[in-house]
Each structure stands twice: as structure tokens, then as C-alpha cells.
Amino acid sequence: MERVPILKIGDILLVSIQIDMSDQTAVTLQEDLAERIVATGCHGVIIDITALDIVDSFVGRMLSTIASISKVLDAETVVVGMRPAVAITLVELGLSLNGIRTALNVERGMELIAATRDDDPGYDDDPEGVESGTAATSP
Amino acid sequence: MTAGVDLGPKTQAIGSDEDVVRVRQLVRTVAVAAKLSLVDQTKLVTAASELARNTLIYGGGGTAEVTVVEDGRRRGVRIVFADSGPGIADLDLALTDGYTTGGGLGLGLSGSRRLVDDFDIQTAPGEGTRITVTKWSR
């Protein structure tokens, strides 16, 4: 079985799904991520699905579950890079991706997580390596 | 016709998780060869993924047969999912959004029906299930 790598960048865990995942690979990713959130104390998870040419109900449910698990473990999840055809298909399939925050790309996903943490009065460290503000220009 | 591309029927056995991935890849290849639009390819591959998973989980495994079809005006891709599992006792209920007996989201059958142009299902208790879906080029 293939495994999806999880990268740590500053206060964020970045998962870029580059393979056509079997259901077992998706379940393993869910468990690996929960472990890495606890092990690293990261407060943000970015899941990049730019390379996915479909998201079916199983992967959709995995994304929702990851978002819920991270929330319980005090981390925000943002799904980035969804292709337009995938978005159209998801809506027609009937998946609403409840509780999932999305952004157009990784850079905006990082900004979204940083902004969320800044708004939270119970959290006062600045996440390392994340530029706050609006200076970033996206393509 | 398209030279150099084999458009004959292709069959993929469905007996494991990895086979569901293979069904997706086969359907994508054929949908591209049949020149479906990107959105139609995406819808068909997504529907195939749902139905192949159903064949595996509820039907105990089976086959997917993918064929390029023509109706004189347009070209399309037809997929037949067949299993010899327990069949579906209450088809109306099984086609309801959110209904599941397997712990999923209950969108597999109902959702994939919305993603294709033609959807036909033949099933009876004890006699397996045969689902035929077609997506036509526009």
C-alpha cells in the first residue's frame, strides 16, 4: 500500500496528495495525521488536492473526518487546490464537505490558518515562518 | 474513427481496494479516448468509483466492463458493473440519498445516478446486481 507523506513547515502540517489513493491509503492518512498533530503540536493542517482529478464520497468523508479530528486536537484544517471540475462533480454527487474550510492555494491556506490563530485570544505566539498580513500576491 | 486508440470493450475485475483504483484509471483512459469533456470525464470517473466500491463492499466483488458506444449522433462511454452478491431487496430505498447499510454516506447509488446520463439497475434478492451507466459527449 502506498502512503501519503506529511511535511511539517513551521506550525503547519502540509499534506499534498499526489497519488490516486485506495480507500485503505486514505484511512491510513487520517490516522497518520492525527498522530503527527499530537506529536508536533502543530495548529494547522493544509491538505493540497491540486493533483486529485476526482474526489468521491469516500475521500470527501475522509476530508471531513480529518477536519473534525484536527479540531478536537486544536488544529485548523484547510483544503486547498480543488479543481473546478471536481467542485462541480462534488456538488452534483451531493457532498457538502461540512465543516471543511477551503482556500484556492497553499499560500492562501497558510494565511487563513494564521488569521484564524491571530483572532483566537487564547493563542498568542506567532506561528513561525508564516507571514501575516496581506503582502502575499497570489498568481 | 480515432486511429491508434483501441476503443473495444475492456474488463476490470473488482476484488480489492486496489481494483477500485484500477477501475477509475481504466474509465479515465477510455473517457479521454472517447473525447468526453473534462467535467464529463470527472463526473463519470467519480460515478465509476462509487459503483466499483459498491460492487466490492455490497456485492462481494465482481467486474466492470467499459465500452465506447455510439448512437449515430454522439459518442459515449458505457460501464457495466456486475456482481453475484445478495442483490438489493428495496431498490427505491437504496436509491434514496443518505440511505446506507454499510456505514458510508449513502451517496454511492443516488449520487452516481445524478452524475451520468443513463442509469439502469437490474437486481433481485439472491440474484446479484447489474448496473449499467452511460455518459454521452455533448
pLDDT class for A117, splitting at 50, 70, 90?
Answer: confident
pLDDT tens, position by position, B40-86: 999 999 999 999 999 999 999 999 999 999 988 899 999 999 999 99
**Would you call B104 and A23 a contact, using CB atoms and an 8 Å cutoff?**
no
CATH number at residue A10: 3.30.750.24
DSSP state of A100: -
- Count of structural domains, chain A: 1
CATH number at residue B17: 3.30.565.10
CB-nearest to B110 from A58, A83, A94 is A94
Residue A127 lies in a domain: no
- The helix (run of H) or strand (run of E) holding residue A8 is strand A6-9
Q: Which site among A2, A19, A29, A57 would you substitute to test the B interface, given the most B Cβ atoms closer than 10 Å to its Cβ?
A: A57
pLDDT class for A132, splitting at 50, 70, 90?
Answer: very low
Alpha helices (runs of H) in A10-52, residue ranges in sequence order: 23-40
Residue A138 lies in a domain: no
**Would you call B105 and A56 a contact, using CB atoms and an 8 Å cutoff?**
no
Residue B5 lies in a domain: no
Residue B35 lies in a domain: yes
| Amino acid sitting at position B74 | R
> Which pLDDT does position A98 carry in this prediction?
77
Which cell goes with A39? 506529536
Residues of A in contact with B104 (CB under 8 A): 57-58, 61
Q: Containing domain of residue B97, as a range?
A: 10-136
Residue B3 lies in a domain: no
CB-nearest to A88 from B25, B39, B105 is B39
**Would you call A86 and B107 a contact, using CB atoms and an 8 Å cutoff?**
no
Task: Tell me the pLDDT of chain B averaged across its residues.
Answer: 92
Residue B70 lies in a domain: yes
If you measure CA to CA, which chain A residue comes closest to B56?
Answer: A23
- Count of structural domains, chain B: 1
CB-nearest to B17 from A24, A60, A95 is A24
Taking a C-beta distance cutoff of 8 angstroms, is the pair B107, A93 a contact?
yes
Residue B1 lies in a domain: no
Which cell goes with A105? 492555494
pLDDT class for A134, splitting at 50, 70, 90?
Answer: very low
Residue B79 lies in a domain: yes
Residue B4 lies in a domain: no
> Which pLDDT does position B113 carry in this prediction?
95
Could you tell me which residue, A119 or A91, shows the higher pLDDT?
A: A91
Residue A87 lies in a domain: yes
Q: In what order do the strands lie in the sheet with B118-123?
A: B10-14, B62-70, B75-83, B129-136, B118-123
Give every CB contact of residue B4 below 8 A, 6+ residues apart in sequence. Answer: none
For B64-124, the DSSP string reads EEEEEEE-SS-EEEEEEEEE-SS--S-HHHHTSTT--SSSS-S-HHHHHHHHSSEEEEEE-
Which cell goes with B94? 437504496
Q: Containing domain of residue A103, as a range?
A: 6-119
**Would you call A60 and B105 a contact, using CB atoms and an 8 Å cutoff?**
yes
Mean pLDDT to the nearest integer, B26-47: 96
